[in-house]
Structure 1
């Protein structure tokens, strides 16, 4: 083989390699957290594994991006910096509305497929139903919590409750309104209700069972909401339908291999990913407008 022909072949090979490198891309998965270092460590093995499964579709690596809040996440998605994001379903609905992204699959986080929220009061409070909370104060966890705020608040609003946010449980409240405050976490919520600082609290049924402990007989549940998925993955509108289908297939089949199961187990004890059922989609569609009203659509 003469030198000229060898150089020609080498040029073609280098060109093909450069072309392949140019089209290779990094899969970027996002979530919201105030502990970015911890969250990146949790998400990165899962992200890299998924990118590896999608190598035939042009992905060469995986990266995790942490957003500060809902608006920050929506901004990152709109600017094309995030391909997929993982969060609770109502937060996902709020982000999807702002960013044009869409639901892809449900996630069985910590082995749980779905959950519902509860409103609870002190057993001897004289409060027997949601309507009795008019003129009273409800404790929610934090503003972007699906189980500790959005879901139970929407359920109560659908029953006619008009809410007014208060600076503290002792703030003045109109007699025809129901006040609410944020406690910061579920332990505070239970403690505030038990001590009579507030009249009612909200959280997921699972968390209520875990945290109520020896105080079980002192509290009673007056409302259980509809069930929604424990967690979901949404996908950017920049992702084509064909690629979205490949990503969905990679996710829902992860639990069918030993390597996939190991990655799932390390990812906050995720059991598997599932396609959305028609019933769940109908429920989430009904919740879309109320979530948008609460979170805003700036």
Structure 2
């Protein structure tokens, strides 16, 4: 357990999930070093970054005490919380965005006008652990009464009274597959949809906009002591108030700030806890 005992000096370890570890370590390391420097009185002597390959890998690292803070999308964080007992600590305004929505969209000339029309059709999600490109839109659709089942490929038959889905690998492919008619619908964050739609606005229509959730979140291991947890919060919530802190925020993927997760947002995330764990169990 990390406490205020300097005799047990050790690094503060921040983790995230990515298939691009070198890129993520480069982005996260200055942030980890900054936090460590501010927490020296708690025996923190360095800041380190660990990149996991998937949710189960990250959960294992946290349970073994090898990761103290987990920074990622909130629905992925809910899966981690369910497997480790850690808790949400803060909201991260990644690239200046506090909250985001996901959208499900189809071709403008499609006869699909709502997600309920997707029965017997195919939806493209980004990848299994993507909050905006899979978890949020899928859970929303299923809560609306649209059951989904994963297909082996685009040629697979969709089960009766269900919608089928496939993973495209990235948002660009999702949009291209919809535009070219390879799939009937696609899902991604509203921000990514607006960025990628470009001159294709007239060719697409949105049939679902989900509720908003934090763009990113910080979770903390249950092994970290109360005083240190409070100190980490204080450092996070005041980074923008100092020149050094602001510089680190700017370099950390243009993070605007960290702040507490609003109560109404926490209540919404609570509704997603069980569905997220159920979906993660499918993987």
Question: TM-score, normalised to structure 2's length?
Answer: 0.96
Q: Which runs of 5+ in 1 are unaligned?
A: 1-19
Counterpart-to-counterpart distance in 2, 1:261 and 1:130: 42
Q: Secondary structure at the match of 1:237?
A: coil
Structure 1 counterpart SS, 2:71: strand
| Distance of 2:153 and 2:198 partners within structure 1 | 26
- The match for 1:203 is 188
Task: Answer whether contact 1:97 1:297 (CA < 8 A) is retained.
Answer: no
**1:239 aligns to 2:224 (yes or no):** yes
Question: 1:208-266: CA deviations, max 9, x gaps?
Answer: 00001111110000000000000000000100122111101110000111110000000
Pair member with larger Rg: 1
1:297, distance to aligned residue in structure 2 (A): 9.3
Q: Which residue of 1 aligns with 2:265?
A: 280
Residue of structure 2 in register with 1:8 after alignment: none
Describe the shift of the 1:23–1:192 C-alpha distance in structure 2 as closer, same or farther (beyond 3 A): same
Alignment correspondent of 2:168: 183
Match of 1:75 among 41, 44, 60: 60
Whole-angstrom CA distance in 1 between matches of 2:40 and 2:7: 14
* Alpha-carbon distance between aligned partners in 2 of 1:23 and 1:150, rounded to the nearest angstrom: 40
2:136 is equivalent to residue 159 of structure 1? no
Give the alignment's Cα RMSD to 1 decimal.
1.3
In 2, Cα distance between equivalents of 1:93 and 1:272: 21
For 2:149 and 2:66, locate their aligned partners in 1 and report how far apart those are by CA, in whole Å: 36
Partner of 1:142: 127
SS in 2 for 1:202: strand
State the aligned residue count.
Answer: 279
- Within 2, Cα distance between the matches of 1:296 and 1:245? 32
Aligned to 1:43: 28
Partners of 1:243 and 1:297 lie apart in 2 by: 36
| Structure 2 unpaired stretches of 5+ | none
1:118 aligns with 2:107: no
1:59 equivalent among 44, 68, 78: 44
1:55 Cα deviation (Å)? 0.9
CA–CA distance in structure 2, aligned partners of residues 172 and 297 of structure 1:
20
- The whole-number CA distance in structure 2 between the counterparts of 1:159 and 1:21 is 52
Per-residue Cα deviation, 1:65-118 (whole angstroms, up to 9, x for no partner): 111110000000000001101000000000110011110000000000010000
Distance 2:107 2:191 in 1: 18
Structure-1-length-normalised TM-score: 0.92
